[in-house]
Amino acid sequence: MESAPEGIVDLPPIGPEPILRLATLVCQTEVMHAALELGVFGSLAEGSLTEPELRERLGLHERFSKDFLDALAGLGLLIRVGDRYRNAPVAGHYLVPGQGVYLGDYPRMVTASFQQAWGQLSRGLRTGKVETQPRGGFVAKSHEDQARFTVYAGVMDHLSTRVARDFAERFDWSGYKDVGDLGGARGHLAAALLEAHPHLSGYCFEPPSAERYLKGHMAELGMAGRVGFVGGDLFTDPIPEADVLVYGQVLHGWEDEERRTLVRRAHEALRPGGMLLVYDRMIDEERRDQQRLLYSLYMRLVSPMGSEYRAVDCERWLREAGFPDVRSEPLLNTHTVVVGLKSREEEQEGAEARVPAAGGGGGGPPPPPPVLMPSLSPGSRSFPRCPGCLRGAGHCLPPSRGRPVRGPGRPRSAAEASSGTARRRGP
């Protein structure tokens, strides 16, 4: 007996488009790489061109050029008006050589790293083992390769500029005299903070191999001698005392026990009343932000102990280390900063053996706590009223008004500091 023909299979109730988009993401990356290699964005730096003009200038084949340029427009890197193409603002700011902040070398470098790392994911999921980098991670290893480090540091400098300008406005720095950037690459974050608040001094703590990069970079910025360099190991070498210490994208290179150690060491190095700032691409409490989860996976693939972590966990490490006041806040729409305030009354054991602050400073009365702007973000944790208000200094309006007074020299509010209209502000 012959079986009846099956006919056309019934379609599922949803289409496969999300899967197809994921499968073709690499195409977008390759289009951008080709545009950088061929010099598309530089050719459009002076103004718009037609497809034939671009084809002639760049030596493109007519079989590919039209689709290629329209694909760049579809990706948001070019803008097409009629038959003319021009750079989109993001490409004009970041992908034109010699103009603005050039990040065009970074996609090639990071793609090579991604290909090596993500190709090991299935093996890592099965065995827990992948080929990672030695202790110190990407930055320390790249100190040996000047070209590689310069590309990486350029991108990190841009991030550091944005972070520093945020911090410069978010906190009142008038009561502090120095800042230490722990794991600060070539010192750009400290330099940007010192530029915003000239009364500050600062230092950068990195492996000794980074010193030449910091000195060269400070000379380029016209800040030679302003930012000191401290070479050493954050786990074993003394951390110079300071009023403010920063861990920027450092804790994600380690596991929880090492993170607790780093936080504890920072607490010990801070003067009474000092402030610790920790920022990373921290995972949201419900673990639903795909970009941060993907970055956490990437850290597991490239470092022997690294991953991202939740802000609530970081807050707990700070409290365990002895910080009585801790809070977390969104940063740049991509990161989270956890802030810890050290008690002013705390007696510091072994203070007589403390390392003098790098580049000057040290001694003097403890600084007052910073004035932290009230958080306006949903679900964030608020500090108590700032100490200045409790002293009757009038730093804040009554609680019913809920917004800080911005007199001369006062920082912007958290809402202003996080809005796109309040600042010039990328990766």
Residue that the structure tokens 């365990």 belong to: 320
On whether the CB atoms of residues 422 and 90 are closer than 8 A, the answer is no
Q: Which of 143, 197, 217, 252 is catalytic?
A: 252
Query: What span, in angstroms and rounded, lies between the C-alpha atoms of 395 and 389?
Result: 5
Q: Using alpha carbons, list the distances in angstroms from residue 35 to 73, 114, 224, 331.
A: 11, 20, 37, 31
pLDDT score for 243: 98
CA-wise closest residue to 319 among 241, 260, 369 = 260
Show the low-confidence residues of the chain (pLDDT under 50): 134-141, 348, 350-354, 360-427
pLDDT at 143: 56
Look up the pTM and report it: 0.75
User: Which residues 6+ apart lie within 8 Å of 131 measured at CB?
Assistant: 120
pLDDT of residue 133: 59
In DSSP terms, 78 is beta-bridged to: 87
* pLDDT at residue 304, as a whole number: 86
What are the tens digits of pLDDT across the range 410-427?
333 333 333 333 332 333
What's the pLDDT score for residue 385? 28
Radius of gyration of the chain (CA): 25
What pLDDT score does 335 carry?
96
| Burial of 378 per CB tally in 10 Å (0-12, 13-18, 19+) | exposed
24 C-beta neighbours (distance < 10 Å), count: 9
Place of tokens 């545009």: 35
Domains of the chain: 17-100 (1.10.10.10), 137-418 (3.40.50.150)
Q: Which two tokens stand for residue 45?
A: 């730096």
Q: How far apart are CA 17 and CA 194, in angstroms?
A: 50
pLDDT of residue 308: 96
199 is catalytic: no
pLDDT for 373 = 32
**Cα atoms found within 13 Å of the Cα of residue 54, Cβ hemisphere only:** 30
**Which tens digits make up the pLDDT trace of 236-266?**
999 999 999 999 999 999 999 999 999 999 9
